[in-house]
Amino acid sequence: MIVERSRQQVATLLGCAPEELVFTSGGSEANNFALKGTFFARRDRAAHIITTQVEHPSILAPCGFLEREGARITYLPVDSTGLLDPDDLRRAITPDTILISIMHANNEVGTVQPIEACARIAREHGIRFHTDAAQSVGKISTRVEELGVDLLSIAGHKLYAPKGVGALYVRAGTKLEPLIHGAGHEGGRRAGTESALLAAGLGAACVLANDLTPMKGVRELRDRFWTSLQARFGRRVVLNGHPEKRLPNTLNVSFVGRVGADILGAMEGVAASTGSACHSGRIELSPVLAAMGVTPEVGMGAVRFSLGRETRAEEISAVVEALSGVLS
């Protein structure tokens, strides 16, 4: 059966049992399921959840919802490279902590959190640990036993699967209240007949994602891109994110004193995103850059470039030339 073969393919990538996977509509649903599913499965006690200030909205918004439902949430800070300190996590734990949710890699700056260390702390205290691995699957290793996690979210479209499919890894024995109640699909954890088409797409993408060797080339190209920008723009360009503990494909840079949206608007055929938004004539930093303590003068010039497995050196050179044209 296609759905079960696909489940096995996802399980092989994560190093888990196929029964430990629940197919979802994407990363957002997987994250909502991890948070709300834990909260509603453990309503018998006070609920304290620990997360970070730099999570994706699909973590922060359900946290806001759960606060309205009576949960207490601690949002851990990060340093100027986007990294959290495991000691801060240790200090935030209380007897009421039911869940720790920390993203594996950040979607804006690519910083990779010390998940193994954080999951070890959670385990020492008998607390369930979730990681949002939407950005890291297929780019760095996401084997659940190495990471030591109980729950892990995948977003299919981040690893070349179709949009609209994802999965949540649920360690055997971890009880979650379903988001969708109904018949017994997905081991009784998510009602509704699965889409074989979408499951097949995610399974096939996971087979390709098993091979991380192409990411070595992506990292080299990304690093050459950064070196070229530094050579061209000197101190007018600043790196956002951790210099080493970062996804191999992500380059988030700030062009100091410039506006990211203006730069991108002047460059045709380049798909990148900015780190700030302009609301009623005022520049608003992204919450991630703000949490990293980036100043508005630097943060408003942020542009995030994401390389793919197919990105070629000529394309990078063309972007560097285009940037020189726009910024000169």
Ligand X SMILES: Cc1ncc(COP(=O)(O)O)c(C=O)c1O
Binding of ligand X at residue 275 (CB under 6 A)?
Answer: no
Read off the tokens for 67: 């606060």
Integer Cα distance of 161 and 207 in angstroms: 11
Integer Cα distance of 306 and 314 in angstroms: 15
Q: Which stretch binds ligand X (CB under 6 A): 71-79, 132-140, 186-194, 308-316?
A: 132-140
- One of 36, 56, 130, 242 touching ligand X (CB under 6 A): 56
CB of 146 to ligand X, least distance (A): 19
**Per-position x/- string for 88-127, each x denoting binding to ligand X as judged by CB under 6 A, each - no binding:** ---------------x---x--------------------
Residue 286 has φ and ψ, to the nearest 5°, of: -65, 150
8 A C-beta contact, residue 80 and residue 110: no
CB of 204 to ligand X, least distance (A): 17
Does the annotation mark 278 as catalytic?
yes
Q: Which stretch binds ligand X (CB under 6 A): 21-29, 34-42, 223-231, 294-302?
A: 21-29
Binding of ligand X at residue 82 (CB under 6 A)?
Answer: no
Give one word for 208, left, alpha or beta, with left for phi > 0 and alpha for psi -120 to 50: alpha
Binding of ligand X at residue 199 (CB under 6 A)?
Answer: no
First to last CA, the chain: 58
Binding of ligand X at residue 291 (CB under 6 A)?
Answer: no
- One of 6, 28, 111, 252 touching ligand X (CB under 6 A): 28
Binding of ligand X at residue 134 (CB under 6 A)?
Answer: yes
Binding of ligand X at residue 250 (CB under 6 A)?
Answer: no
Residue 73 DSSP SS3:
strand
Among positions 151-180, residues that touch ligand X (CB under 6 A) are 155, 157, 166
Chain mean position to CA 199: 21
| Complex with ligand X: residue 127 or 134, whichever CB lies closer | 134
- One of 6, 32, 58, 97 touching ligand X (CB under 6 A): 58
- Side chain identity at 294, as an amino acid letter? V
Segment (H or E) for 149? none
CB of 26 to ligand X, least distance (A): 3
Residue 144 DSSP SS3:
helix
Integer Cα distance of 323 and 328 in angstroms: 8
Binding of ligand X at residue 26 (CB under 6 A)?
Answer: yes
- Burial letters 100-112, b for 16+ CB under 10 A, else e: bbbbbbbbbbbbb
- Binding-site size for ligand X (CB under 6 A) equals 14
Give one word for 307, left, alpha or beta, with left for phi > 0 and alpha for psi -120 to 50: beta
- One of 135, 142, 250, 306 touching ligand X (CB under 6 A): 135
Binding of ligand X at residue 203 (CB under 6 A)?
Answer: no
Neighbours of 268 (CB within 10 A): 7
Q: Which residues are catalytic?
A: 278
Residues that bind ligand X (CB under 6 A): 26-28, 31, 56, 58, 103, 107, 132, 134-135, 155, 157, 166
